[in-house]
Structure 1
Amino acid sequence: MSPTDELIPMLKKLRLSGVLQSLQLRTQQAVDDNLSHSEFLYRLLGDEVERRDSKQLSQRVRRASFEHARTLEDFDFHFNASVPKAKVLELGTCSFLERHDNVLIVGPTGVGKSHLAQALGHRACRAGFSALYVGAHEMLMQLRAARGEGSYDKRLLRFTSPDLLIIDDLGLRGLTQDEPMDLYEVVRQRYERRSTVITSNRSIKEWPPLFGDPLMASAAMDRLLHHAHVLVIECWRSSRSAGFWSSTRSSRSAGFGSSAGAGIESSQCKTASLLPRLRGAERGRWAAESSGDAQLFLALRCARDSSAMRLR
């Protein structure tokens, strides 16, 4: 029996069986480089620490239940000038988690709120914090079901125990029945104990009516806004329709000028969520008509006519 074979049961007993993955390589390296015993041991255990850190990160990311694999490195800060890049990168250091601060991200559909929220959650996982991502409707639905099953306290603990809770799309619909109380309870139990990130299409001043009761709303908002970082992202251009805008801007050289292109870029963002349902110039025409932008409508009509002539 070789010395390595004798090591296996000992390493397993010490829960260091992962050392076996690099033991042979490090042993050969120690011989070739004439490493000291302490240097050999340092490198061997360093491999095990790195392996465990990687495994724990994977577990934290999996338990966080992110909807998509989003990171700050993937976020395009150029598509929307209103995104406070310096503030976002500061939050990416995760120092707000150590202070148990909240982050509230508000803005119209398609400006990157969910991406930023999940990216902060991923940063938290990388920094060793536990995180959980959940849609507001899904969280409240789970709590309502748990109340009926008699497991409310256990289910509530799922949302109050993570170091970082990310609640996406708060206020997308009104709160009914016990949902205002459930939301308040989550906010109350996390206050100054854990950090919460909330995204919403509604401005902060529109949140209190969601609770239905002025006293409950006041108590909840006081806890949410105390030690909070509020990111207000204005609608300069929707990330989901960025491809449409870039292709439209390229048609400036086709004959309708830079002023028309500027009008396209500044069109009303309320149409952004419906644009993917339409195609080509018809999609832009619908956006222009619904927003009342005559200049935009004229430019897009010219583009459509030019396309039709080329097809002929």
Structure 2
Amino acid sequence: MLPNPTLDKLQTLRLHGMIKALGEQHATPDINDLSFDERFGLMVDRELTEREDARLTTRLKAARLRHNACLEDIDYRSPRGLDKALILQLGSGQWLRDGLNLIIGGPTGVGKTWLACALAHKACRDGYSVRYLRLPRLMEELGLAHGDGRFAKLMAGYAKTDLLILDDWGLAPFTAAQRRDMLELLDDRYGNRSTLVTSQMPVDKWHALIGDPTLGDAILDRLVHNAYRIELKGESMRRRVTKLTTAGTSD
């Protein structure tokens, strides 16, 4: 085992992965069969893995995803209108590199938010910054931020986030202030960062939801016209789980 001063120095340098790898090597009976270069390479690999895992944990914590979902867990057998080829394409991350948007529509309970979180989780794994927001809460937060001086800081943070998820778009009509805030938010991100929207309301009704024709055109131009679209169909997944649970209880 290395002398304590050396271990202390590794600790000071925050090389925690190398310290763990070193301990594992000393606990491996035939480790001396490996050359110094091989053993050192294993230690460096462990340190790199530890740091990548720590960064991923930090990104996921900052994202505040509603569901712990992964693309690998998608059930394509359920008749929801999922295009596997499109999901695989989105999973490659090219849309994020191009600063494109994604709209996931469909009735309540079909898995819109879950799919959004799965794509967001993959983005975090690929090194992108992500933030999940329910649109009603975001609008409320921006309204409060105008009064307490946080608005500019909030908008700057959202503008530089690689993937911003706006969940539950269309639950209520926009107010005049919300229209202006949304246009500013999307204008800051347009062409540079990706925005993912989930909504029960069809896109062709969004213009009326926004309310103002001029601002509506501007918002939709920055959000819809460069967006991939996924339209989910079928029965509510929550209702299906309830049926399965009820059936299992009655057996």
SS at match of 2:172: coil
Q: What does 1:175-194 align with in structure 2 at a 5 Å threshold? A: 175-194=174-193
Q: Which residue of 2 aligns with 1:158?
A: 157
Contact kept in structure 2, 1:104 and 1:199, CA below 8 Å:
yes
**Which amino acid in 2 is paired with 1:80?**
P
Contact kept in structure 2, 1:187 and 1:223, CA below 8 Å:
yes
Report deviation, 1:31.
Answer: 5.8
- Greater displacement, 6-15 / 164-173: 6-15
Greater relative contact order (Cα 8 A, min sep 6): structure 1 or 2?
2
Q: Deviations over 1:43-93 (max 9, x none)?
A: 011111111111111111111011221222333222224122221222122
**Which amino acid in 1 is paired with 2:169?**
L
Q: Deviations over 1:199-231 (max 9, x none)?
A: 001111111223222121111111112331011
Change (3 A) 1:247 1:138: closer
The gaps in structure 2 that reach 5 residues or longer are none
SS at match of 1:202: coil
Q: What does 1:266-281 align with in structure 2 at a 5 Å threshold? A: none
Report deviation, 1:179.
Answer: 0.6
SS at match of 2:3: helix
**Counterparts of 2:176 and 2:107 in 1: how far apart (Å)?**
27
**Counterparts of 1:32 and 1:72 in 2: how far apart (Å)?**
38
**Counterparts of 1:158 and 1:182 in 2: how far apart (Å)?**
14
Q: Deviations over 1:137-157 (max 9, x none)?
A: 111111110001122101112
Contact kept in structure 1, 2:56 and 2:125, CA below 8 Å:
yes
The answer to whether the aligner puts 1:217 opposite 2:216 as a matched pair is yes
**Which amino acid in 1 is paired with 2:79?**
N
Higher helix share: 1
Q: Which residue of 2 aligns with 1:147?
A: 146
Contact kept in structure 1, 2:17 and 2:48, CA below 8 Å:
no
**Counterparts of 2:150 and 2:90 in 1: how far apart (Å)?**
35
Identity of aligned residues (%): 33
Q: Which residue of 2 aligns with 1:23?
A: 22
**How many residue pairs get matched?**
248
SS at match of 1:220: helix
Report deviation, 1:33.
Answer: 4.4
TM-score computed with the length of structure 1 as normaliser: 0.73
SS at match of 1:132: strand
**Counterparts of 2:177 and 2:99 in 1: how far apart (Å)?**
27
Q: Provide the aligned C-alpha RMSD in A.
A: 2.2
SS at match of 2:95: helix
**Counterparts of 1:121 and 1:247 in 2: how far apart (Å)?**
29
Q: Which residue of 1 aligns with 2:90?
A: 91
Contact kept in structure 2, 1:8 and 1:17, CA below 8 Å:
no
Change (3 A) 1:103 1:15: same
Contact kept in structure 2, 1:30 and 1:36, CA below 8 Å:
no
Q: Which residue of 2 aligns with 1:137?
A: 136
Report deviation, 1:241.
Answer: 1.1
Q: Which residue of 2 aligns with 1:242?
A: 240
Contact kept in structure 1, 2:80 and 2:110, CA below 8 Å:
no
Larger radius of gyration: 1
Change (3 A) 1:151 1:246: closer
**Counterparts of 1:247 and 1:48 in 2: how far apart (Å)?**
45
The answer to whether the aligner puts 1:115 opposite 2:111 as a matched pair is no
**Counterparts of 1:244 and 1:6 in 2: how far apart (Å)?**
60
**Counterparts of 2:173 and 2:180 in 1: how far apart (Å)?**
13
Q: Which residue of 1 aligns with 2:33?
A: 34
The gaps in structure 1 that reach 5 residues or longer are 251-306, 308-312
